[in-house]
Amino acid sequence: MSQSRQMKTYMPLHILAVPQTDVGRERDHNEDAIGIAIPGGPVHLYTNEGMIELPSVGDASALHAKGALFLVSDGMGGHQAGEVASELAARTIIHEYYADPNDNVAESLHRAVNKANAAVYTWAQASAQRKGMGTTVAVAVLRGAESHIAWVGDSRVYLMRNGVLQQSTDDHSFVWEQVKAGILTKEAARNHPQKNVVTRALGHKPEVEVDSRAAQLQPDDMLLICSDGLSGPVDDPHLEAILKEYPPTEAVPHLIQAANAAGGPDNISAIVLAAHTYIGAGPMVEARRPAALHAAPPATPPPTAPPAASPTGGLSPWLKGGMVALALLVIVGLFFVAWRLLSAPPNGGEGTATATLAPVTSDPTTTAAASSGTPATPATAASPEPTSTVSPLKPTSTVQPPTPTPEPTPTPAATPTPQCERRAPELVSPAQDATHYSGETVRYEWRGGNLCPGDQWRVSFSGNGRQEQVLTGASSVEWALNVDPGAYSWMVELVDETGAVVQGMSSSLHTLHFKTTTEVKPACDSNMDGDGDGVNDCIDQCPDESAPGTPDGCRAPATP
């Protein structure tokens, strides 16, 4: 019996993505991060430092295989901890998701979020100042009409369909568990004193449980991904009303305004994803900046002068013909008058011209001859007064031929000193999850901008309670680490002349695995016969059985 495999096809949709993040009214910095990865274009991160552009994660083939990824992460742990955690999670999830060849979106998403948890946890454990560092995250991957979401914490994903907004995620928080248990209503949970207590977050434990769901999108569906800085102060009916009233590019700034109008107690981040039927024109997925909330009215353009009317425009054909004939008669008359003036003798004319035609400047060597065939003598005309008189230059000495001067030897141009440019470092090697041996000299390499005066790279290595750091001005360093077997991580930060980390100038974490090369070998004695063959297992350590001092256990048994 023959079997045929039917390929599953998905209705193609055009996805419009509109992101925006805002610090809010009560915070002095933004610990949220937004990540957008659409294969075929650069990755965009929106953080406290503004928009960061990263290299593309693939081309159109990656878009069809893995889809486009959108996420919101809400960091916690204070300045230089929460914002680092949210950005580190965003970078790691995007990198790990597209680096995974598995085309099962759900499995790949779970793996990527767990990798991000390990990265944030390792980084948090490396310093006492980062204690409590963590982040929530909500991720959506859209592939064709498939929608896959994954989340940890209380950042949310909503689905708007047929004008009705529904929450697609369950908060990992204390009050949400009370709501599910029927102890609290949603409205009571919104005002509960422990509403910000999350029960799950990335970076708090070595491992984390990730929740996920999948669905099929329909044309005109909308997804809203947001941090609790939006869903906390703005209730669901208000969110729904804004999404129904405004198109996505206008809805996002109105959502931010609504949260700020309600006090703006936290950072506010939102992405609106709008799905439309794909008609084959333009990209299948695109991201746009939101429209200004209060855009200035367009400037009134200056009045445009009406086009000049044609000399004959609007006239009847008969009148047009008459005007043309009259113009020809005038031209013939002018030529006749000019001929009479040129052929008449000086002062012998019967009349004096009452109008003088401006002379036409011509080359005197090509003056036209008179009609008699005798070259006409050009009349002397009044020339305008020159603005300056140029006298011929009289030489005061005999001019000698110039002595050839040797050409100067060209001076090589100085090599321009590269200007300093601060860029976040990108780890090159060792690769993620590389394996090395304890004591092995490992070369750590990264890419970054040109260092500014006083800047240095700080390379950190941590894991299993071990922490080491080194400062360098180069973009690589060799390091021999004598460590116990296990998983470790390394990262690079840009520090200024005071030793402080320059904001936003940190790399993601790379995990390394170390194992030992030391093997404990048994001593040569007669009791080391582990396989029962009558031959000491360490006999290979005693190549010369007759050597003085060779232990008896290293001698082979006599042949019977």
Q: Among 18-27, 239-248, 342-351, 532-541, which stretch is predicted with the lowest mean pLDDT? A: 342-351
pLDDT of 62 above 80: yes
Q: Identity (one letter) of the amino acid at 392?
A: P
Instruction: Enumerate residues 6+ apart whose C-beta is below 8 A from 408.
Output: none
Summarize pLDDT for 261-301 with one digit per residue, the tens: 999 999 999 999 999 877 666 788 888 888 766 443 333 34
Please, what is the Cα angle at 289 between 283 and 295, to 5 degrees? Answer: 130
Length of the chain: 560
What is the arithmetic mean of pLDDT over 525-540? 48
Q: Which domains are seen in the chain, by residue range?
A: 13-287 (3.60.40.10), 426-515 (2.60.40.10)
Q: Please name the residue that has the structure tokens 């999850």.
A: 433
Cα diameter, the chain? 159
pLDDT for res 477: 83
The C-alpha R_g of the chain, in whole angstroms, comes to: 42
Helix (H, G, I), strand (E, B) or coil at 254: helix
Residue 90 to residues 23, 33, 34, 47, 263, Cα–Cα distance (Å): 18, 7, 7, 10, 27
Reported pTM: 0.56
Q: Say how far residue 259 (Cα) sits from the centre of its chain.
A: 27
3-state DSSP of 377-423: CCCCCCCCCCCCCCCCCCCCCCCCCCCCCCCCCCCCCCCCCCCCCCC
pLDDT at 386: 37
**How many CA atoms lie within 13 Å of 485's alpha carbon, on the beta-carbon side?**
5
Q: Which of 10-14, 100-104, 271-275, 361-365 has the lowest mean pLDDT?
A: 361-365
Identify the residue whose tokens are 């055009």: 14
Q: Which residues sit opposite 307 in a β-bridge? A: none
DSSP 7: P
What pLDDT, on the 0 to 100 scale, is given for residue 259? 97
| Three-state secondary structure readout of 57-111 | CCCHHHHHHHCEEEEEEEEECCCCCHHHHHHHHHHHHHHHHHHCCCCCHHHHHHH
Count of CA atoms in the C-beta half-sphere (13 A) of 121: 21
Q: Quick one: tokens of 24?
A: 């809010």
Residue 31 has pLDDT above 90, yes or no: yes
Kindly tell me if the per-residue pLDDT of 557 is higher than 90: no
Query: What is the spatial distance between Cα 222 and Cα 270, in angstroms, rounded to a whole number?
Result: 13
- The larger pLDDT score, comparing residue 428 to residue 463, is at 428
Burial letters 504-520, b for 16+ CB under 10 A, else e:
bbbbbbbbbebeeeeee
CB 116, CB 137: distance < 8 Å: yes
CA distance 391 to 544: 116
Contact 88, 509 (CB under 8 A): yes
Assigned token pair, 520: 């404990």
Closest-CA residue to 80 (of 125, 34, 29):
29
Is pLDDT above 80 for 248? yes
SS3 state at 506: strand
First to last CA, the chain: 65
Type of residue numbered 542: C
Contact by Cβ (8 Å): 204, 76: no
Containing H/E element for 500? none
SS3 165: strand
What pLDDT is stored for residue 378 in this prediction?
Answer: 39
Most confident of 65-69, 123-127, 439-443: 65-69
Distance separating alpha carbons of residues 282 and 369, to the nearest angstrom: 70
Q: What angle do CA 363, 365, 369 make, to 5 degrees?
A: 100
pLDDT digits (tens, 9 = 90+) for 169-212: 999 998 878 887 788 777 777 777 677 789 999 999 999 999 99
Structure confidence by residue, pLDDT tens digits, 396-409: 333 344 444 455 55
- Answer for the pair 29, 23: CB distance below 8 angstroms, yes or no: yes
